[in-house]
Structure 1
Amino acid sequence: MIPYPNISPEIVRIGPFAVRWYGMMYLMGFVSSYLLVRYQIKKKGLNLSRDFVESLYSYLILGLLLGARLGYVIFYNLSYYIQHPLEIFAVWHGGMSFHGGLIGSIIAGVLFCKKLRVDVWQIADLVIVTAPIGIGLGRLGNFINGELYGRVTDVPWAMIFPSGGPLPRHPSQLYEFFLEGIVLFSIVWLLKNKGFKTGMLFSLFVIFYGAFRFFVEFFREPDPQIGYILGIFTMGQILSAVMVFIGLTIAYLRRSI
């Protein structure tokens, strides 16, 4: 067993205000994505201005945050929020969904591209190859917060999380950091210049993320308010399986164009 490092979630506190690692990870993810998208635009010689990218990210960030919150409400605890609707706005109590955030950012991105009459698939490919950076950093934030930990296990690298009871558990946040962050970024970034039709990089991200998340969910503790679906699957696995199906469908349709 490896001791949990028990890092303070707060980087610094000034009076009632605190800068937290989780929020810093989000900020670092957005900044990294923005800079890498600018880098790709310059490298490819695309006629997309800095103002365009900045406006795009204002849409994407808003869509991601709204989608992540509403996704958690709908997918993970709808009955509770129907009874307590004002709690939907209590984001400081926690509760964000990756799948909801992805849906929200896709909707926002599509609306933005349609408004300015630019190719949705081209923009999707530029942005999506940078997404694993933010995802990986977010998982590190989950690890520092001691949340979204894994199932009870006796593997040598198991850890006892402060809020996870006395038994050692899988550090599943680190599994996700590795697969959904490092590995996924390596795959899509290396493939970005291979001459695929537009939309293919987006579909590959959706397929690989869904597959990696489906696998890691076997080691991650299910959400207590839902538990297992059909006896063995988690809500995260159901949503990730849908992602793989959608990704394969997009890949098939884009190849045939």
Structure 2
Amino acid sequence: MLMHPQFDPIAVRLGPLAIHWYGITYLVAFALFYLLATRRLRHPQFAGVARPAPWTRRDLEDMLFWGVLGVIVGGRLGYSLFYKPAHYAEHPLEILAIWQGGMSFHGGMLGVIVALILWAWRRDRPWLQVTDLVAPCVPLGLASGRIGNFINGELWGRFASPDLPWAMVFPQSGSLQPRHPSQLYQFLLEGVLLFVLLWLYARGSRRTGQVSGAFLVGYGVLRFVAEYFREPDAYLGLLALGLSMGQWLCVPMVLGGAALWAWASRAGAPARAG
């Protein structure tokens, strides 16, 4: 049985300035997105796109800026609405207190979707062409965020058998019983595994929208599985059918992704340069 290393959440102190590990993992996530997106532009769907204009690194930089805004605004609003609506209804100004913690992936995803819709509209680009470019570049950024969760000792797992070799005690949980290190499960499933599968799938000549649909299905299924090992939020517990809030939020994600993939499969020719 392992003990969670009690990391200092502050990585670097520069006088009054404190740089947190979680902030660093966000920066790593954005850097990984940019590096992978530049590689993605070499894939068949984007390498020679001429309409409405060729893709450039400047496009990626501009899109990343919009995406960062979508992640922060959507993630915070999603957490407030999905997980603590009553609290934030009484204290609406606390929604702005991002430094207190509390971000939702599903809310962040919705925020990014809105941001990409606006960016695609401003650039006169097909929205699904944009999301197909972005989707395979996202999972490693999610993996980086899970490392931040592990360093902070938050979002720990459910109780595990002491015989499990990697069972871990999280003192922050208020219990010395061993738990699943669910942050690492999510790092491997939603991050590394999803990236490998989606990157390999996206390298082929796919119909517009298929890669986006595959991402929604893949993330939704893997997150749904990981939630069986993650401790539900204490203020919510398990909901209908014994599922967590995270699992219920994955249901429309999987259904929507499957519908998008099926529609894209019948919609037209594979997305190629032109």
TM-score range, shorter chain: over 0.9
1:202 corresponds in structure 2 to 212
Whole-angstrom CA distance in 2 between matches of 1:219 and 1:110: 34
Whole-angstrom CA distance in 1 between matches of 2:48 and 2:146: 33
Return the offset for 1:2. Answer: 1.6
1:222 corresponds in structure 2 to 232
Structure 1 window deviating more from structure 2 (1-10 vs 188-197): it is: 1-10
Secondary structure at the counterpart of residue 191 of structure 2 = helix
Letter in 2 for 1:31: A
1:133 matched to 2:140? The reply is yes
Q: Map residues 7-156 of structure 1 onto 2, 5 A cutoff.
A: 7-42=7-42, 44-46=47-49, 47-154=54-161, 155-156=164-165
2:203 to 193, 201, 209: 193
Higher relative contact order (CA 8 A, sep 6+): 2
1:158 corresponds in structure 2 to 167
Which aligned segments of 4 or more residues in structure 1 are displaced greater than 3 angstroms? none
Return the offset for 1:42. Answer: 4.3
Letter in 1 for 2:168: M
Return the offset for 1:55. Answer: 1.2
Return the offset for 1:6. Answer: 2.2
Whole-angstrom CA distance in 2 between matches of 1:30 and 1:71: 20
Whole-angstrom CA distance in 1 between matches of 2:182 and 2:224: 12
Whole-angstrom CA distance in 2 between matches of 1:101 and 1:228: 22
Secondary structure at the counterpart of residue 224 of structure 1 = coil
Return the offset for 1:162. Answer: 2.5
Whole-angstrom CA distance in 2 between matches of 1:93 and 1:60: 22
Whole-angstrom CA distance in 2 between matches of 1:8 and 1:190: 37
1:256 matched to 2:246? The reply is no
Structure 1 residue runs of 5 or longer lacking an equivalent are none
* Aligned residue pairs, count: 257
Whole-angstrom CA distance in 1 between matches of 2:228 and 2:16: 39
Structure 1 window deviating more from structure 2 (226-235 vs 181-190): it is: 226-235
2:271 corresponds in structure 1 to none
Structure 1 window deviating more from structure 2 (187-196 vs 69-78): it is: 187-196
Letter in 2 for 1:69: R
Deviations 1:179-215 (A, max 9, x none): 0111000001111122110111111111010001111
Secondary structure at the counterpart of residue 11 of structure 2 = strand
Return the offset for 1:231. Answer: 5.1
Return the offset for 1:135. Answer: 0.3
When residues 40 and 231 of structure 1 are mapped into structure 2, their CA distance, relative to the original with a 3 A threshold, is closer
Secondary structure at the counterpart of residue 3 of structure 2 = coil
Secondary structure at the counterpart of residue 129 of structure 1 = helix
The sequence identity of aligned pairs, in percent, is: 43
Letter in 1 for 2:27: L
Whole-angstrom CA distance in 1 between matches of 2:240 and 2:70: 31
2:221 to 199, 208, 211: 211
Return the offset for 1:38. Answer: 1.7
Structure 1 window deviating more from structure 2 (98-107 vs 53-62): it is: 53-62
Give the TM-score taking structure 1 as reference length: 0.96
Give the TM-score taking structure 2 as reference length: 0.91
Structure 2 residue runs of 5 or longer lacking an equivalent are 268-274
